Amino acid sequence: MILSASPWFIGLCLLVGAGYAALLYSATAPWSRTLNYALAAVRFVVVSLLCFLLLSPFLKSTTTTTEKPTVVLALDDSRSVELFTPPAVLGQATAGLSRLAAELRRQGFAVETRTLSAANRATPPDSVRFRAPATDLDGLLAGIGATFQGRNLAGVVLLSDGLVNQGQAPQFADYRFPIYAVGVGDTIPKKDLSLPALTYNRVAFSGNQFPLEVELAYAGFAAGTTATVQLRENGRVLQTKRVALPAGQTRTKTTFLITATGPGKRRYEVVAAPLPGEFTRLNNQKFAYLEVVKGKLRVLLAGAAPHPDLKALRAAILQNDNFDLITYLPGIRPLKNQDFDVAILHQLPARSGVGAEVLAQVQARRAPALYVLGAQSDFGAYNRLGAGLTITPRGSQTDDVTPVPNPTFGRFTFEDDARRRFAAYPPAPVPFGDARLSDGAEAALWQQVGRVKTQKPLLVFGGSPARRQATLLTDGSWQWRLQEAVEHDDRPEAYDRLVLRTLQLLTQNANRKRLDVYPTQDAFNTPDDVTFGAETYNAIFERIYGDPVTLTLRDEQQKTRSFTFAPTPDGAPVHLGQLPAGLYRYEARATLGGQPQRDAGEVLVEEQQLEALQSRADHNLLSQLARRGGQRLYFPPQLDQLAQDISKAGYKPVLYEQEDLQDLINQKWLFFLLLGLLTAEWATRKYSGGV
C-alpha cells in the first residue's frame, strides 16, 4: 500500500478514531461494559478508517505473465519451389517442418507459420500449396520482424530455394533474429532455354518501324545448338529467326524489326521452340505490350525566368518518346506562333508581366495547361484563369512541404514504390495562405508539413472537360528529381511518372464525352486487382452520380465479362479483380438524362512468369542469411537435427511483471465493510435500548 501523504498522519487518524469512540461511549450506558467496549471498538475502526481514506492510499498489485519463446516457420511458397524441387524432397521437407513444429511445442515453444501468400498463413506446413507468383524474401522476413518486435522471438526457420525476384536482396538487410535456413530446390544446372527479358519502347508511332530485342538464356546444351524463335500476333507468325547458342556463354540476343500498323494497344508474343531434353517449357514464352499512336504530342515548356525546375521538367518529358518539347523563355528569343497540344507555364502569369504573349496563345488555343506556381507568380492573375484553385497568400511567407498522395484521387494511381520515394523527398516551398478548390477540382497530392499530413492541395486538377488544367503549388520540385536520382542510381522514376501522367491526363481526348470510362493504369499484371475509373456528366457537362453504368470486357478469344456499377462522389475506382493475361477491349454504356451514352477502349493485362526464369537454387544466399545469425544451412533430411539445435540454444520464456495502482477508496469490499460495521453498531444499540 502506498500513501500520498506522510505516514505520520496514520497516528493522527487513530487518535481521531479513539477520541471519537471515547467521547461517544464514555457515559453510562444501558448495556453491559463488555458490549460498550465492543461498540467503542467498532466506532474506533470506522472513524479511523474514514480518516485514513482522506490520506488517498493506493493499493499496489503486481501481475506476472510468461511469454513462451516463439519460433516462426517462414515458408517460401512460390511456384519455383514446387517446380524445381523433386516431389519426394519437397514432401520430406514439409512433413519434417510439421514434425519440427510438434516437437518444439512439446518443448514449450510457441510456433507460428508465415508464407509469401497471406492465404496460406494458417495452413500446416505439410498442407501448403506453392502457388505464389513472385518471391520477396525480404518482405517476408521484414514482416516477421515487424510483427514480433518487442516479443520473445527465438528465431525463424526459413524454407526456400534462395531464388529472389522481387524486393530488396535479403543478404543485405539487417534482421535482428537468428535465421535457421532450410534449403530446397536443385543446385545442379538443368537443360533449359528461357526468355528472361524483352527490350522495346512501350509507345510506337503508326507507320514507323521499331526494334524488339529478345534475350535468350540457356544451359546444358551442346556446342552448335540452334534455337528457333518466333514473333507472333493473335496466333499469326510474323517473323521466325534461327539463333545460335554460343558455347561458353549462358545468354545471347536477337532482334526483330516490327512495323507499327494502326493505332491502339498491341500484344506481340515471342516464343522459343522447345529443344530436345529441355526441363520445362514454362519460360519459353514472353509477351510484349505496346501502344501505337498516331503522332507525338507537342509540349510547350515556358518559364518566367531560368530556373532549375525547367531542367527537371524537361528531363522528365524527354523520357517519353510520345512527346515533342518546345521551350520558351521571355527575352531570349521571340515567341513564334507555336503549334502545341499542352503547355507547362512555370511561374506564369508573373508579377513582372513577362510572358504575356505565351498566356495569350494558351488562352486563344484553349490548350490544356499545367501551372507551376512560385515566388514570381501573380496570384491575382492566376486566380482569374479558372484553373480550379483559388489562392490567397499571406505576404511572402512559405511552408516547406513534401507530397502525400490523395487516396481518393482515381484518375491515375500511385505505386507503393512511388509513395515510399515521395516520403523521402526534401521539403519544397509552397505559398503560405488559403487554397480553396473550386467545384469539380480534385487534389492528386496533399501537403505534408514536417510529419503532419494536411488537407491543403499541392497538385490540383481542375478546369472543364473541354479544357483541362492543373496546378503545382511549388517551384522546388527540381529538388525531388535530384534527390531521387541520387538515391536510386540516376532513375527518378516516381518524379518522371508524375510529370508524364499529369500531361497525359491533361491531353486526354477532350471531346466532351458525357460518359468517360478508363483503366486507372496503362497496364496491369495478372496478380493485380484491375480497376477502372468512371465519370458521368449531364447535358451541360456538370458531374452527376448514381446512374448505373454497364462495363463489358471482351478478351482475344471473344469471351465477355460484364460489370455494373454507379459512379460515386468520392471517386472510388471500380474493382474488377484479377484477370487472365491478354488484351481486353471494353465497352461502357449508360443512360444519362434519358439519352444513351457509350464509351470504349482497351486495357492490357500482362503475365510475368518470374518463377520459371531461374531453375538453379541459390543455397549460397540461404547460407549467408544463416551465418549472419550464427547458424548454418540445413537440408530436409536434417530437420530432426535442427530441432535438437534449437533446443540446445537455450531459449527461455520471458517473465513480464506489471504493476497496477488502485485507489483504496474505489474498492467495493471496503464500502460494504464500513456499511456492515455501521449497521451492526446501529442494530446493537437499537436492540439494547440505546438511541
User: Any idea what the CATH number is for the domain that residue 334 is in?
Assistant: 3.40.50
Same domain flag for 634 and 581 = no
Give me the sheet containing 369-372, strands edge to edge: 323-328, 297-303, 342-346, 369-372, 467-472, 452-464, 442-449, 389-405, 428-437
The partner residues of 345 in beta bridges, in order of sequence, read 302, 371
pLDDT of residue 120 exceeding 70, the answer is: no
Q: Is 246 helix (H, G, I), strand (E, B) or coil?
A: coil
Which run of H or of E encompasses 288? strand 285-293
Tens of pLDDT, residue by residue over 453-489, are: 999 999 999 987 778 899 999 999 999 999 999 998 8
Residue 461 included in any domain: yes
Tens of pLDDT, residue by residue over 621-666, are: 999 999 988 899 999 999 999 999 998 888 888 887 777 778 878 8
Residue 30 included in any domain: yes
| Cβ atoms 432, 399 nearer than 8 A | yes
Query: CA 73, 75, 81: angle at the middle one, nearest 5?
Result: 150
Q: Alpha carbon of 269 to those of 150, 168, 256, 287, 685: distances in Å?
A: 50, 30, 12, 5, 104
| 222: its cell numbers | 551442346
512 pLDDT band, cuts 50/70/90, is low
Same domain flag for 12 and 96 = no
Residue 2 included in any domain: no
Q: Alpha carbon of 277 to those of 51, 72, 104, 566: distances in Å?
A: 95, 40, 44, 54
Same domain flag for 251 and 342 = no
Q: Is 594 helix (H, G, I), strand (E, B) or coil?
A: coil
CA 240 to CA 228: how far, in whole Å?
7
What's the average model confidence in pLDDT over 518-534? Answer: 83
Structural domain boundaries, residue 282: 192-293
Q: Please give the tally of structural domains in the chain.
A: 5
Same domain flag for 549 and 500 = no
Residue 171 included in any domain: yes
Last residue of a domain, one of 506, 534, 569: 506
Given CA atoms 173, 177, 182, 184 in this order, what sign does their dihedral have? negative
Indicate the burial class of 543 (C-beta count within 10 angstroms; 0-12, 13-18, 19 or more): middle
Tens of pLDDT, residue by residue over 330-366, are: 877 667 777 788 999 999 999 998 988 899 999 888 8
pLDDT of residue 123 exceeding 80, the answer is: no
CA 481 to CA 491: how far, in whole Å?
9
pLDDT value at residue 129: 87
| 357: its cell numbers | 504573349
Same domain flag for 205 and 280 = yes
pLDDT value at residue 282: 76
What's the average model confidence in pLDDT over 391-405? Answer: 92
Same domain flag for 410 and 283 = no
pLDDT of residue 378 exceeding 70, the answer is: yes
pLDDT value at residue 284: 87
| Residue that wins the pLDDT comparison between 219 and 591 | 591
Same domain flag for 467 and 566 = no
CA 613 to CA 606: how far, in whole Å?
16
Same domain flag for 209 and 248 = yes
pLDDT of residue 122 exceeding 70, the answer is: no
Neighbours of 437 (CB within 10 A): 15
pLDDT value at residue 531: 92
| Residue that wins the pLDDT comparison between 607 and 156 | 156
Q: Which of 449, 413, 317 is nearest to 370 (CA)?
A: 317
CA 346 to CA 358: how far, in whole Å?
11
171 pLDDT band, cuts 50/70/90, is confident
Same domain flag for 367 and 419 = yes
Indicate the burial class of 334 (C-beta count within 10 angstroms; 0-12, 13-18, 19 or more): exposed
What's the average model confidence in pLDDT over 226-235? Answer: 90
Same domain flag for 228 and 264 = yes
Residue 666 included in any domain: yes
Q: Alpha carbon of 41 to those of 47, 168, 336, 675: distances in Å?
A: 10, 77, 109, 15
229 pLDDT band, cuts 50/70/90, is very high
510 pLDDT band, cuts 50/70/90, is very low
Same domain flag for 501 and 366 = yes
Q: Which residue has the cell 491543403?
A: 456
Last residue of a domain, one of 242, 267, 293: 293
Last residue of a domain, one of 506, 532, 554: 506
| 471: its cell numbers | 496546378
Residue 3 included in any domain: no
| 360: its cell numbers | 495569350
pLDDT of residue 60 exceeding 50, the answer is: yes
| Cβ atoms 651, 177 nearer than 8 A | no
What's the average model confidence in pLDDT over 125-153? Answer: 87
pLDDT more than 90, % of the chain: 36
Which run of H or of E encompasses 51? helix 33-53
CA 447 to CA 425: how far, in whole Å?
12
Which run of H or of E encompasses 25? helix 8-25
pLDDT value at residue 511: 45
| 46: its cell numbers | 470506522
| Cβ atoms 543, 534 nearer than 8 A | no
What's the average model confidence in pLDDT over 269-281? Answer: 87
CA 263 to CA 207: how far, in whole Å?
9
CA 197 to CA 219: how far, in whole Å?
16
Q: Which residue has the cell 508511332?
A: 205
For 393-417, what is the HEC assignment? EEEEEEEEEEEEECCCCCCCCCCHH
CA 272 to CA 285: how far, in whole Å?
6
- CB burial of 83-101 (b: ≥16 within 10 Å; e: otherwise) equals bbbeeeebebbbebbbebb
pLDDT more than 70, % of the chain: 95
| Residue that wins the pLDDT comparison between 373 and 207 | 373
Note the residue count of the chain.
691
Q: Which of 308, 529, 491 is nearest to 413 (CA)?
A: 529
pLDDT value at residue 403: 96
| Cβ atoms 528, 578 nearer than 8 A | yes
CA 600 to CA 588: how far, in whole Å?
6
- The torsion angle over the Cα atoms of residues 94, 95, 96 and 99, rounded to 10 degrees, is 130
Tens of pLDDT, residue by residue over 233-274, are: 888 899 999 999 998 888 899 999 988 777 777 888 899 999
CA 73 to CA 128: how far, in whole Å?
12
Tens of pLDDT, residue by residue over 425-445, are: 999 999 999 999 998 899 999
Instruction: Kindly report whether the global pTM for this prediction surpasses the value 0.75.
Output: no
422 pLDDT band, cuts 50/70/90, is very high
CA 477 to CA 310: how far, in whole Å?
10
CA 321 to CA 207: how far, in whole Å?
15
CATH of the domain at 637: 3.40.50.410
When the pLDDT of each residue in the chain is averaged and rounded to a whole number, the result is 86
What's the average model confidence in pLDDT over 43-70? Answer: 84
pLDDT value at residue 615: 73
CA 522 to CA 265: how far, in whole Å?
10
Ranges 154-158, 185-189, 515-519, most confident: 154-158
Residue 1 included in any domain: no
Sequence-distant (6+) residues with CB within 8 A of 587 are: 551, 552, 554, 598, 599, 600
pLDDT value at residue 448: 94
CA 243 to CA 248: how far, in whole Å?
15
Residue 404 included in any domain: yes
CATH of the domain at 280: 2.60.40.10
Same domain flag for 335 and 475 = yes
